[in-house]
């Protein structure tokens, strides 16, 4: 398995070890310098570090090593710590990096939930026939690429006419849109609350229904047939697409046509058994309703008689 590419890194030339400043700083100060590069990139401080940051880099004699790096010109002092010399020459601005991440996430979500799904969202700045000018929408193919004046820029702006359209906005409802909407309505799902597995099953069912030229009206009708055939079953996109032919007719018909009867579910059997038991108990109560009833005194006398008879038999 290939190693995962790190999301954050600092550019370090393979020839840095031959730099005069690094040579004069010494090995231990060189290690502190490299750790400071990584720490600043991790914290996104733009090359500036507090004195406390340097003390937590695991190096003994931090003050002495810091003074040496300042002396050779790799660090420069600030009011709160140090600044890495030349940081801006090789690293993009931290704020622009965060903006680039946000824009990349926005583009990914737009492509996944709008372009591939064939839908548009009025609240999405990348949807619609005329896309608004967003300063950070167009990102350089490589952060830090060189532009005309030789400087490095994390964000490269392009005019609206130079932009490649992110997606063609449909001018009319496409078949996939209508089938998708009809299927969502038939099963009673909320598209905005779908999980990835649910959306995958929904898209798969839409693809299967498009293959048989299903229409929104027919989807609604056959979903009703599904509920009529199996009242206790849950209607899902897969249930409709997997039983499409079976759902062409309902479970009952007044014209005597040949239809497939609905299969009883286990719940139906339990309900029927409970109903039969209740009816049998009711019949027994009705049969014994007219029989003469003994009073409490008669019952007590009968009990005493039986006990006395039993004692007489024992004495005899």
In the structure encoding, which two tokens stand for residue 131, read together?
């896309």
DSSP letter, residue 114: I
CA-CA distance, 10 to 294, in Å (whole number)? Answer: 100
Q: Indicate the burial class of 46 (C-beta count within 10 angstroms; 0-12, 13-18, 19 or more).
A: middle
User: Helices 196-211 & 175-187, crossing angle to 10 degrees?
Assistant: 120
- Contact assessment for residue 91 and residue 47, using Cβ atoms and an 8 Å cutoff: yes
Write down the pLDDT at residue 71: 95
Kind and range of the H or E element at 158? none
The pTM of the full predicted model, rounded to 2 decimals, is: 0.36
193: CB partners within 8 A, 6+ apart: none
**Euclidean distance between the first and the last CA atom of the chain, given in angstroms as a whole number:** 98
- Kindly state the tokens that stand for 23: 């040579």
pLDDT per residue of the chain (316 residues) written in tens, 0 to 9 = 556 666 778 888 889 989 999 999 999 999 999 999 999 888 888 889 999 999 998 889 999 999 999 999 999 999 989 999 988 888 877 667 677 777 777 788 878 887 887 777 777 777 755 444 343 444 333 334 433 444 443 333 333 344 444 444 444 445 567 888 888 888 888 888 888 888 888 888 888 898 888 899 999 999 999 988 888 888 899 889 888 988 888 754 444 444 445 555 666 677 778 888 888 887 777 666 655 666 777 777 766 765 555 445 544 4
Contact of 124 with 114, CB cutoff 8 Å: yes
At 34 the pLDDT is 93
Which pLDDT score is estimated for 292?
62
CA distance 88 to 278: 85
pLDDT given at position 135: 39
Q: Token pair of 165, please?
A: 């359209």
């Amino acid at each position: 398995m290939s190693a995962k590419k790190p999301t954050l890194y600092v550019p370090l030339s393979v020839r840095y070890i031959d730099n005069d400043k690094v040579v004069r700083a010494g090995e231990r100060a060189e290690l502190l310098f490299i750790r400071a590069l990584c720490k600043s990139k991790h914290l996104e401080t733009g090359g500036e570090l507090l004195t406390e940051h340097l003390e937590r880099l695991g190096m003994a004699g931090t003050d002495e090593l810091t003074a040496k790096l300042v002396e050779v010109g790799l660090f420069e002092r600030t009011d709160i710590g140090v600044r890495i010399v030349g940081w801006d020459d090789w690293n993009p601005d931290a704020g622009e990096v965060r903006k680039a991440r946000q824009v990349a996430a926005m583009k990914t979500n737009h492509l996944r939930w709008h372009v591939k799904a064939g839908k548009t969202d009025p609240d999405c700045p990348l949807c619609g026939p005329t896309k608004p000018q967003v300063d950070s929408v167009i990102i350089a193919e490589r952060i830090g690429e060189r532009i005309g004046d030789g400087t490095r820029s994390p964000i490269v702006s392009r005019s609206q006419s130079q932009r490649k359209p992110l997606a063609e906005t449909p001018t009319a409802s496409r078949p996939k849109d209508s089938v998708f909407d009809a299927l969502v309505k038939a099963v009673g799902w909320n598209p905005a609350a779908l999980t990835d597995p649910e959306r995958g099953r929904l898209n798969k069912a839409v693809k299967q229904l498009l293959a048989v030229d299903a229409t929104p009206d027919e989807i609604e009708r056959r979903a009703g047939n599904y509920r009529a055939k199996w009242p206790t079953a849950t209607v899902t996109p897969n249930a409709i697409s997997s039983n499409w032919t079976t759902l062409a007719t309902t479970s009952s018909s007044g014209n005597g046509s040949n239809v497939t009867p609905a299969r009883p579910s286990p719940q139906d059997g339990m309900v029927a058994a409970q109903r039969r038991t209740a009816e049998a108990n009711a019949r027994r109560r009705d049969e014994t309703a007219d029989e003469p009833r003994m009073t409490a005194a008669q019952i007590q006398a009968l009990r005493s008689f039986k006990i006395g008879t039993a004692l007489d038999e024992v004495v005899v």
